Structure 1
Amino acid sequence: MGADIGRRLCEVRKRRGMTQRELATESGVSVSLIRKLEQGERATVRLETARRLAVTLGVPTTSLLEAPVDDVTPSADGTWTAVREALRAPSSGAVQEAPTVGGVRDALAAAEPLFAGDRLRQLSVVLPSLIRDADSVADLDDEGRALRTRVMQLTGWLLTQTRQFDAADEALGRALDGAPDTSRAAVTVSTRCWLLLRTGRIDEAGRLAERWASEIEPRMSRASKGELSAWGWLLLRASAAAVRDNRPDDADDAMRLAHSAAVAMGCEAAPGGDFLQAFGPLTVVLKRAENAMVTDRPDLVLSMAAKVRPSEMRPTSNNRNRHLLDVANAQVAMRRYGEAVDVLEDIRHAAPEWLANQRYAQDVLRRIVTHRRTLTPEMRALADAVGLPL
């Protein structure tokens, strides 16, 4: 990003006739951060912070951001090194026994619950071999190609989850190249939109989601659940991009269409048993709450959360856990720190490996800690779980 964000921020602020302190007061962003950005001492900023500044200045977030934001550094502990190497060099040379299509099929079936259950440590061990074996059988027949495509799709999703963004982009590109049809390709595109959102490329994410949603829009009277899910998720990505770009009307329009897809689904469902395609009325409610948190409506987040029954959400569902982070953040905004800690504890017990990869969780817990003179044992355990420096 370099100093460009600071230059753009300074230019827009001056055109609005605002001082740094006035911008800080109205946006809730510290004047010291604004000063560091404008002076080039700080070259990155969280997407949420950029949006606060953009809303206060009355411009799209993308007018300040034209490159990736914070949270794009690969894991420094080497957890995903072998996976990244397998993507770069799928063939490991001569092997005593070549993999078979049936063997890869069985290995993938055994691995899919690990993806769905956020079993990240186990995946870091088994995934490199699965990638190489899937690549080896891809040229044998159509099933082999389909297996490699699915492995790449899941790998791209996982690496996006764990902030290995360059490797995720490579895996998703391979998955898209091998997709057997447009509907299933759209599932990969949805993940790529998520990747773009996580790296601050919100304009690109929005345009990609909108284009694909337009291309695959189904005829509602006879659409399959797979088609409705793919379309609905692309609309949710388009809405997420629009709300982060300070375009609330566009965000609402996309969300209304996603709701119509959910109504047509009739219930929460995962077409073909694929957890990546899980979609329905509940998913739309969770994403409406996410948009409300982005627009600083913690009261609305908690109101919507109160209508969601815990029994409707799988304990290790990523959508469920992401929603609970929004709930915890809303509780902090309402100064209900004890309730926020309880929510974070819920996530820690249900999905500890997932929580460890969420910078959002760090941000929420940091806000709690700053309001405490001493930390409870639960708070200390949470700080360790999310890697919060103390």
Structure 2
Amino acid sequence: MPRWSDYTTGERIKILRGKTIRQSDLSEMTGLSLPVIQMAEQDKRLTLQTLMKVADALGADTSVILGQQAPRRASEHGDRATMRDLSRAVHDTAAGLLPGTVGDAPSLAELRESTASCWDAYWRGEYVKAGALAAPFLAEASARLHAQPAGEEAEAWGVMTDAYRLAAYVANLMGNRDLAYSAIGHAQNAAERAADDMRVALVASGRSWVYLRDARLPEALALAERSAVDIEPRFSKATADELTAFGSHVNFAAVVASRMGDKDRAADYLSQSHATGARMGSEHRAHGTLFGPVSAATQAVGVNVALGQTGKALALINSIKNVSGLTAAARNRYAMDKAMAQADAKRWDESLDTLEEALLHAPEWARHQTLPSVIVQKVGRASTARLRRVSKLIGADMESSGFLPATARTAL
């Protein structure tokens, strides 16, 4: 399969505009004539002015068009435009730059409703939509902060914390690690100004997740553990909101411990997670997350898969009867963990059935995940059934990637 740098500049422009943007559309978007666009894609002529206008219209860095760095995985034009707008919102608000006047700032009550809407989109797995909502949300929250009377800014800083944390989560999932680091740093500053211990812990957990995806595992675990300890409630007096925050924190600590291969630590955190879920009795949503007994059980499946404890993972899967109370994103992730456990157990067809159902149900969510390709690679070593159909759903070229054995290529 060709590397990104193997394509010509013209080919890279064509790939980046994709099937949804025609040459005539790109001409209108850039203000350049159609012949100029055609010559650029034919590698006949590309001036610096043309390069910059095309890059801006496609939401891509000029270095990507020139082949100096590859585009981010699963990055489409809409993704790139969303990330560009979100990046501007994060950096502009942090610098105190405000669009419009603060006199038009929404009320704190309205912003709390916006917070819920943004998190709803995120937990449905609609990451591009969540990012598109987060950009204006940041601007509105910043306007509210500047409009607040002196000495009454704490709650507004709390809203800013939520907006920056959401931006960091979206950026992290969409592979924009620099923006994720920046946004979570601004979230930390806002949480401290809000003097809100719960938000400070939530931000620390968010930073831990950024570290996890950046392979900084020891730092990720230290932060996850600290944030869980900081908000551990007294169970006899804990509210549902407090238990939700604590349960999701210890769940995540178990995830990080499992990535480090620490079975004892992971088991300890899973025990706390299950106990918290049992105390709650049902799923509950708070602080931009959802937790309960089903969340604890499904997360434990992924932890045991990561630790190579396939038997335990399958036993848990058999005990989980209803996941309808989970968010769409959590259900999708559970399906991936389930498919991986089935693949590890060499139940190839079951694994592909589980994977295909999830991919068909949530194609947009799946675009930003790496696990589907990992599962297909694992199944491809021993099974040929359905592989080509499933590979198309994740946009993988199975033959050129070497996922299919030679016999499978002729059979399929």
Q: TM-score normalised to the size of structure 1?
A: 0.71
Whether 1:174 aligns to 2:186 is: yes
Question: What displacement does 1:92 show?
Answer: 6.2
Whether 1:139 aligns to 2:146 is: yes
Q: Return the letter of the residue paired with 1:164.
A: N
CA distance in 2 between counterparts of 1:333 and 1:256 reads 24
Whether 1:240 aligns to 2:240 is: no
Question: What displacement does 1:373 show?
Answer: 5.1
Which of 231, 235, 240 is 1:220 aligned to?
235
1:321 equivalent in structure 2: 332
Which of 118, 135, 144 is 1:111 aligned to?
118
Q: Return the letter of the residue paired with 1:205.
A: A
Residues 194/332 of structure 1: CA separation in 2 closer, same or farther (3 Å cut): same
**Conserved 8 A contact 2:102-2:147:** no
**Conserved 8 A contact 2:164-2:187:** yes
Structure 1: unaligned runs, 5 residues or longer: 1-71
Residues 226/177 of structure 1: CA separation in 2 closer, same or farther (3 Å cut): farther
1:129 equivalent in structure 2: 136
- SS of corresponding position for 1:278: strand
Residues 145/211 of structure 1: CA separation in 2 closer, same or farther (3 Å cut): closer
Residues 229/335 of structure 1: CA separation in 2 closer, same or farther (3 Å cut): same
Which of 340, 346, 351 is 2:351 aligned to?
340
Residues 222/96 of structure 1: CA separation in 2 closer, same or farther (3 Å cut): closer
Residues 191/252 of structure 1: CA separation in 2 closer, same or farther (3 Å cut): same
**Conserved 8 A contact 2:165-2:187:** yes
- SS of corresponding position for 1:381: helix
Whether 1:250 aligns to 2:261 is: no
1:81 equivalent in structure 2: 84
**Conserved 8 A contact 2:98-2:142:** no
Number of residue equivalences = 315
1:1-390 residue pairs with structure 2 within 5 A? 77=76, 78-79=80-81, 80-90=83-93, 95=100, 99-102=104-107, 104=111, 107-141=114-148, 142=153, 143-179=155-191, 180=194, 181-271=196-286, 274=287, 276-314=288-326, 316-372=327-383, 378-384=389-395
CA distance in 2 between counterparts of 1:155 and 1:332 reads 34
Comparing 343-352 and 105-114, the one that deviates more: 105-114
Q: Return the letter of the residue paired with 1:342.
A: D
Question: What displacement does 1:75 show?
Answer: 6.8
Post-superposition CA distance 1:228-254 (Å, at most 9, x none): 222222222222222222321122122
- SS of corresponding position for 2:163: helix
Greater RCO (Cα-Cα under 8 Å, separation 6 or more):
1
**Conserved 8 A contact 2:285-2:291:** yes
> What's the RMSD between the two structures over aligned residues?
3.0
Q: Return the letter of the residue paired with 1:101.
A: P
Post-superposition CA distance 1:281-310 (Å, at most 9, x none): 212212221121012122321221121123
Question: What displacement does 1:319 show?
Answer: 2.4
CA distance in 2 between counterparts of 1:323 and 1:194 reads 18
Residues 106/326 of structure 1: CA separation in 2 closer, same or farther (3 Å cut): closer
Residues 140/344 of structure 1: CA separation in 2 closer, same or farther (3 Å cut): same
Structure 2: unaligned runs, 5 residues or longer: 1-70, 402-412
- SS of corresponding position for 2:284: coil
CA distance in 2 between counterparts of 1:173 and 1:74 reads 24
**Conserved 8 A contact 1:190-1:233:** no
- SS of corresponding position for 1:270: strand
Residues 364/211 of structure 1: CA separation in 2 closer, same or farther (3 Å cut): same
**Conserved 8 A contact 2:121-2:129:** yes
Q: Return the letter of the residue paired with 1:379.
A: V
Residues 108/280 of structure 1: CA separation in 2 closer, same or farther (3 Å cut): closer
Question: What displacement does 1:93 show?
Answer: 6.2
Question: What displacement does 1:353 show?
Answer: 1.4
Question: What displacement does 1:138 show?
Answer: 1.9
**Conserved 8 A contact 1:137-1:145:** no
Q: Return the letter of the residue paired with 1:119.
A: E
CA distance in 1 between counterparts of 2:280 and 2:385 reads 49
Question: What displacement does 1:119 show?
Answer: 1.9
**Conserved 8 A contact 1:213-1:235:** yes
1:33 equivalent in structure 2: none
Q: Return the letter of the residue paired with 1:290.
A: G
Question: What displacement does 1:127 show?
Answer: 3.1
Residues 369/153 of structure 1: CA separation in 2 closer, same or farther (3 Å cut): same
Post-superposition CA distance 1:93-120 (Å, at most 9, x none): 6638964123655654543432232223
- SS of corresponding position for 2:283: coil
Percent identity over paired residues = 23
Question: What displacement does 1:364 show?
Answer: 0.8
- SS of corresponding position for 1:358: coil
**Conserved 8 A contact 2:165-2:203:** yes
